[in-house]
Amino acid sequence: MKYSFRCKCPITSALDIVGDKWSLVVIKQMLFEGRSTFKDFIDSPEAIATNILSTRLKMLENFGIIEKAKLPTNKKTNIYTLTEKGFSLTPVLIELTLWSKYHIQEFNPGLNLDKDLEKVEKNKEEAFELIIENYKKHKQSILKK
Per CB under 7 A, residues contacting DNA are 20-22, 37-39, 42, 47-52, 54-55, 57, 73-78
Cβ–Cβ < 8 Å for 6, 36:
no
Q: What Rg do the C-alpha atoms of the chain give, in angstroms?
A: 16
Q: How far is the CB of 71 from its own copies (least distance, A)?
A: 28
Minimum separation from the CB atom of position 137 to DNA (A)? 22
CB of 29 to its own copies, least distance (A): 9
Report CA-CA distances (Å) from 144 to 14, 61, 72, 135.
32, 21, 10, 14
Which of the 8 DSSP states describes residue 37? S
The entry of DNA, its own copies, none near residue 49 (CB within 5 to 8 angstroms by kind) is DNA
CB-based contact 13:4 (threshold 8 Å): no
CB nearer DNA, residue 59 or residue 130: 59
Hey, CA dihedral for 126, 128, 134, 136, is it positive or negative?
A: negative
Q: Which is nearer to its own copies, 77 or 100 (CB)?
A: 100
Query: Which of these, 69, 80, 87, lies nearest to 28 by C-alpha position?
Result: 87
CB of 19 to DNA, least distance (A): 9
Instruction: Return residues touching its own copies (CB under 8 A).
Output: 3, 5-17, 19-21, 24-25, 28, 32, 45-47, 63, 85, 88-89, 91-93, 95-104, 107-108, 110-113, 124-125
